[in-house]
Each structure stands twice: as C-alpha cells, then as structure tokens.
Amino acid sequence: DTAVSQTPKYLVTQMGNDKSIKCEQNLGHDTMYWYKQDSKKFLKIMFSYNNKELIINETVPNRFSPKSPDKAHLNLHINSLELGDSAVYFCASSRDVSNQPQHFGDGTRLSIL
C-alpha cells in the first residue's frame, strides 16, 4: 500500500521527445509537489499544488507542465526533452500547506539519450 506512487519508475527516451510522469497519493493529503534531484543529489522544488491549484511555480522551463486533475493526482508532462532534463523526479505530498511533513514517492529516473 504505497502512500505516494509514481509511474514509471524508469524512463529512457530520446532528446526532443515528449513524456509524462504520473503521481498518485492515497493519504488524503491536500498538497502535492514535484521535485527534481540532479546528478549531484541536489533536491529542488519545481511545482506545488494545493487542492488542485498551483501555488508554487519555480523557475522551471515552460516545457514542464504540471496537471492536477484532482487532489490525489499530480502529473508532470515534459515537452521537447533535453539532455539536461536527465534526473530523478520525485513526487511528494503533505496534509496541507502548513508545516506538515512531506511524504515522497519512489522517484522516476529519467534518462535522455
């Protein structure tokens, strides 16, 4: 019973392609996040949604487009993939936007050839 689940776990694709990563949480949380972890292990917030509304949008290329169809899902679509997009992408959720722990998914390792 994974609390925050992401699919796929691995994604290997060519430069220029478009791909999506899906995330679902069964914790009943209101807030969801996307993080990028680069090859040096640095974790950086990309987006956050609260009750399906975008509340954090960091300096991310507009090739990245998040979508939250409902509170339990937050997907990430990436257009025109570039070599620099290679990273591990983590989805996370928290009960709400206050000082609550964030629970991470297992990550999606994206490799661009």
Partner 1 sequence: GENVEQHPSTLSVQEGDSAVIKCTYSDSASNYFPWYKQELGKRPQLIIDIRSNVGEKKDQRIAVTLNKTAKHFSLHITETQPEDSAVYFCAARTGFQKLVFGTGTRLLVSP
What residues make contact with partner 1 under the rule CB under 8 A?
A: 40-45, 48, 55-56, 58, 90, 97, 99, 101-107
CB of 18 to partner 1, least distance (A): 25
DSSP of 67-87 = EEEETTEEEEEE-S--GGG-E
* Cα 3 from Cα 94, distance rounded (Å): 11
CB of 89 to partner 1, least distance (A): 11
CB of 82 to partner 1, least distance (A): 23
**Residue in the block written with tokens 């990563």:** 21
